[in-house]
Amino acid sequence: MKILFIGGAGFIGSNLVKRFCKSGSFKVTVIEPETASVMRLDGLQVEIVRASLANVEAVEQIIANKRIDTVVHLVSTLIPGSGYEDFKRELTDMVFPSIRIMEYCAKFDIKFVYFSSGGTVYGNRTTMQPFVETDDMAPISYYGWSKQMMENSILFKNRTEKLRYLIVRPSNPYGHGQNLYGRQGLVAVAIGKILNGQPVEVWGDGSAIRDYIYIDDLSEVFFQLIDNNVSNETVNIGSGRGYSVNDVLAFLKIISKVDFKIKYENARPMDVSNMVLDTEKMHKFTNVELTPMLEGVSMFYEESKKNQNI
């Protein structure tokens, strides 16, 4: 099978590509713009094509020339803290071109797979009840809103043009390949601060609860969804278990043996208070033994420490 990853050189994408290359049954192509780093793909049997998603005609030509069966869409220029001006650019540069790619895929019966966000599309909830795929989408950030727009566009194209699709809603992935010095990803950013001897900044009082999944588990679940040809479904991908920010930092204090300082800042209005995903559907379609949180964080920390020669 020939599979195309649009935005396959990032943290999540590169780990997915690695898993598909390992299988030996997929021919993998990745699209990244000229300015994007593709270092995470070094050593993998993958063809890298330089193109911008905004150049729809170029992307369509790549899909045609490579005889792609499945398109996996991983591109977003936003993060949960993004503002209105960022959102406007996202609509122009990503959402609208993506809709045209959906139309192309529908026309030639190519499966369109979209990485949404289980952490933001559902919005806020005061109870601890896990979010099920059939729950209403009520995002409170521009990032989540853009994901909802993409999901609704996919469903519209399915209704009107019979687009074959798969929407996945991952929780909070963490693990090797994640940027320790970026602006998102609690586990990664906290490890980066610890290794540099800096305090870890927390938005709010640390009670916010999230569902975390180790990146290898996410990659395996996704691979099985594609390999099993799951279609016209929306599937949460997570652990089904919640940990507070303070829980995660307590894990890191135990693992690192460093009594690092925690700096609590005012909570942000775009952050949900708790988010745990219901994973019953995920387990129905796949068979993956998930990595316990403490074990996953420990592996990530030790690898990060080794890479920095500390």
- Tens of pLDDT, residue by residue over 153-199, are 999 999 999 999 999 999 999 999 999 998 889 999 999 999 999 99
Report the pLDDT value the prediction gives residue 307, as an integer from 0 to 100. Answer: 86
Dist CA 57 CA 106 (whole Å): 15
Dist CA 160 CA 154 (whole Å): 10
Q: Residue 306: is its pLDDT beyond 80?
A: yes
- Of the pLDDT bands very low, low, confident and very high (cuts 50, 70, 90), residue 79 is confident
Q: What is the pLDDT of residues 244-284, one digit of tens each?
A: 999 999 999 999 999 999 999 998 888 888 999 999 999 99
Of all residues in the chain, the percent with pLDDT exceeding 90 is: 92
- Of the pLDDT bands very low, low, confident and very high (cuts 50, 70, 90), residue 310 is very low
Q: What is the pLDDT of residues 12-44, one digit of tens each?
A: 999 999 999 999 999 999 999 999 999 999 999
Q: Residue 237: is its pLDDT beyond 60?
A: yes
- Of the pLDDT bands very low, low, confident and very high (cuts 50, 70, 90), residue 60 is very high
pTM above 0.85, yes or no: yes
Residue 4 β-bridge partners = 29, 71
| Residue in the block written with tokens 């933001």 | 120
Q: What is the dihedral of CA 279, 284, 288, 292, to 10 degrees?
A: 30
Q: Is 200 helix (H, G, I), strand (E, B) or coil?
A: strand
Instruction: Put residue 238 in one of left, alpha, beta given phi > 0 → left and psi -120 to 50 → alpha.
Output: beta
Q: Residue 309: is its pLDDT beyond 60?
A: no
End-to-end CA distance of the chain: 42
What are the C-alpha distances in Å from 248 to residues 86, 207, 260, 264, 298? 30, 11, 13, 15, 11
Residue 243 β-bridge partners = 210
Dist CA 95 CA 130 (whole Å): 28
Task: Give the list of residues 6+ apart from residue 11 with CB closer than 8 angstroms, or none.
Answer: 40, 173, 177, 178, 179, 185, 215
Of 9, 19, 21, the residue nearest 50 (C-alpha) = 9
The mean pLDDT value of the chain amounts to 95
Q: At what angle do helices 56-65 and 96-107 cross, to 10 degrees?
A: 30
Residue 6 CA from chain centroid, whole number: 13
Which stretch of DSSP H or E encloses residue 170? strand 165-170
Q: Residue 48: is its pLDDT beyond 50?
A: yes
